[in-house]
Amino acid sequence: MTQDEMALTRVVFAITVKGYAELRNTNSILNLQERTVLTLIDGVCPVAQYLPFLSEFNPVIDKLKRLEKLGLLRRVGAVASDAVQRFDKQVSGGSRISHWQSISAEREVSGFIALE
């Protein structure tokens, strides 16, 4: 993963009004995978938390970049890099998914930093 991609794993995205409109558009410019990724964005979880669950949609980061470039997503903040590292350690550690600690903009311990 490049430095740019690593930095993006900390970002929390939210769907824009244009994004919601695109989801309702019957002549969408998005393919099925892009639409699916767009529907999963919740404005709370950082990109890192989506990656283990969306491996069938790889490269997910490229899809997120495209959705942002099209104005369908916007950055609302980021989480601390140590929160992402702890999450990655849980994922690679082999523990059950139900025991993973989530990282989100709604949890103070995640180190969420809102953008201005």
Residues in CB range of 62: below 8 A, 6 or more apart: none
Residues 98 and 3: their CA atoms lie apart, in Å, by 30
- pLDDT for 77 equals 87
pLDDT, one tens digit for every residue, the chain (116 residues): 788 888 888 899 999 999 999 999 999 999 999 999 999 998 888 898 888 888 888 899 999 999 999 999 999 988 877 777 777 777 777 777 666 666 665 666 555 555 54
